[in-house]
Amino acid sequence: MPDITIKAADGGQFSAYLAAPKSGRGAGVLVIQEIFGVNAVMRAITDALAAQGYFALCPDIFWRQEPGIQLTDQTDAEWARAFELFKGFDEAKGIADLKAALAHLRGLPGCNGKAGTVGYCLGGRLVYLMACRSDADANASFYGVGIENNLAEASAIKAPTILHIAEKDSYVPAEAQAKIGSALKGHPHVTIHTYPGQEHAFARTGGKHYDKASADLANARTAALFKTHLG
């Protein structure tokens, strides 16, 4: 599948990995990367969504720092670089870029105009913010980091949104999880699924904390969300 180019709202352009369904018709899913860039793991997720019948698009959200970054989670040097990019990430501009990517996705020939979001780690946080700040039709956040800092925005969520939370997440401690659960309890559009005993990135295939049973369950719940609300 090709990398395409998307125009940013404030000028410039960035790349995104596009995977299209064989039928040439369907809804869209915006895939929001981890801190390792649009790497092999993200591309595989994007391809898998296309195989389910979606136009799947994974934009390079680190392009303002270093375009085309593709890291793995296998070396200390790559982890160090990933955290540098995470710390240097301009969240407001990142959300603007994701909105541009979402609009581009909806405008693809064959797309039915509906589009959801799915993201992991940093991407999981950005999915939550897209649920709050964009018109995405459905959202699935995997172990999003820092969501507890933006709970005041939750009233703006109008589309079905799932939060997949790892019970033993080193980056989302119990206190943060409690805040999220308390603030979002009873929210008409938000469903929280907690995965007992699981660490951060339990759904990253090949990762240190990958757990197939939990990953399969979270992926099935996400697939059901998209099937119901994206058509």
> Which H, E and C letters describe 126-146, residue by residue?
HHHHHHHHCCCCCEEEECCCC
What pLDDT sits at residue 1?
A: 62
Catalytic residue status for 200: yes
Sorted by sequence, the CB contacts under 8 Å of residue 203 that are 6+ apart come out as: 120, 142, 143, 164, 210, 211, 214, 215, 218, 219
CA distance 77 to 21: 36
Catalytic residue among 73, 169, 209, 211: 169
**What phi, psi does 5 have (nearest 5°)?**
-115, 135
User: Is-contact 85 107, C-beta < 8 A?
Assistant: no
What are 112's two structure tokens? 């039915």
Active-site residue flag, 3: no
pTM above 0.95, yes or no: yes
Structure tokens at 217: 């369950």
Which of 141, 142, 96, 134 lies closest to 115, judged by CA?
134
Per-residue pLDDT of the chain (231 residues; tens, 9 = 90+): 679 999 999 999 999 999 999 999 999 999 999 999 999 999 999 999 999 999 999 999 999 999 999 999 999 999 999 999 999 999 999 999 999 999 999 999 999 999 999 999 999 999 999 999 999 999 999 999 999 999 999 999 999 999 999 999 999 999 999 999 999 999 999 999 999 999 999 999 998 999 999 999 999 999 999 999 998
- pLDDT of amino acid 75: 94
| pLDDT given at position 231 | 80
Distance CA 22, CA 190 (A): 32
> What size, in residues, is the chain?
231
Nearest-angstrom CA–CA distance, 20 and 159 = 24
The pLDDT value recorded for residue 193 is: 98
- The residue from 104, 164, 200, 209 that is catalytic is 200
Alpha carbon distances (Å) from 92 to 13, 46, 96, 175: 16, 24, 6, 26
As a whole number of angstroms, the distance between CA 209 and CA 212 comes to 10
The position carrying tokens 């991407």 is: 123
Domains in the chain (CATH in brackets) are: 3-230 (3.40.50.1820)
